[in-house]
Amino acid sequence: EDAEKMKNLFCGHWGFIDSPENTKCLIDWRDAPDSTRPTLANIKAGMRWLVEGAMPGDSLLFFYCGHGSQQRNVDRREKDGFDEVLVPVDGKTEGMLVDDEINEMLVQPLPAGVRLTCFLDSCHSGGGLDLPYQWNPYMEEGASWHLDEGGVYADADVICVSAAAEDQTAKGIPRLGNRENFPSGAFSASWCVACEVHETQCK
């Protein structure tokens, strides 16, 4: 349900338009039709839909809340030897969505002047888009940017806000979901709280 709740937040408070032409939401509900479930094919189709026809001045948003994992990297671009992956509902039979593919589908098609903001509320999501620079707030010498030599540069302005570093897991807190319009993922819930505080303090 977190995807639906976050969609309501972004559309209700941050200017995104909740219409079939502007918003797509895939949710793993038991009674959800196949076309709206987060299968590998549907996630890929949604990514292509999001970036298709993007023009300078456009602001795009991609939000994912679900399972994330790692698998062995075969092209030796990852310094830790692992690719980060998103886990679709049919991942056991259809495979995972690898960070290389995500970058190729979601980042590389975008022209300069487009802003893409991604939220990944999943384990190992720090390298989920294979971007060249990462902000680490937990460095011993203090928060700083560092270069990932295996990352891929983009023409567009792309930011990925992740729930965990590449070697970390993300947490869910089911009881948080009992609050109306509140997600159960710890990262998503924290983001909602930050937005509420921002709105309150900046009025």
pLDDT of 40 > 60? The answer is yes
**Mean of pLDDT values over 148-154:** 81
What is the distance between the alpha carbons of residues 119 and 161, in angstroms, rounded to a whole number?
5
For the chain, how long is the longest CA-to-CA vector?
Answer: 51
Catalytic residue among 11, 25, 65, 67: 67
Q: What's the mean pLDDT when you consider all of the chain?
A: 85
Residue 62 CA to residue 107 CA, distance in Å, equals 11
What is the pLDDT, as a whole number, of residue 7?
85
Question: How many of the other CB atoms lie within 10 Å of CB of 149?
Answer: 8
The yes-or-no verdict on residue 145 having pLDDT over 80 is: no
Lowest pLDDT segment from 20-29, 35-44, 91-100: 20-29
Position 93 scores a pLDDT of 95
CB under 8 Å, gap of 24 or more: what pairs does 5-9 form?
5/181, 5/182, 5/183, 5/188, 6/63, 6/65, 6/119, 6/183, 6/188, 6/191, 6/192, 7/63, 8/181, 9/181, 9/192, 9/195
* Active-site residue flag, 67: yes
Contact 122, 128 (CB under 8 A): yes
* 46-62 confidence digits (pLDDT tens): 999 999 999 999 999 99
Task: Give the model confidence (pLDDT) of 68-92 as tens digits.
Answer: 998 887 766 666 668 899 999 999 9
The one catalytic residue among 118, 123, 160, 192: 123
Which residue intervals of 59-115 are DSSP H helices?
91-94, 99-102
Does the annotation count 118 as an active-site position? no
Confidence (pTM):
0.85
State yes or no: pLDDT of 17 exceeds 80. yes
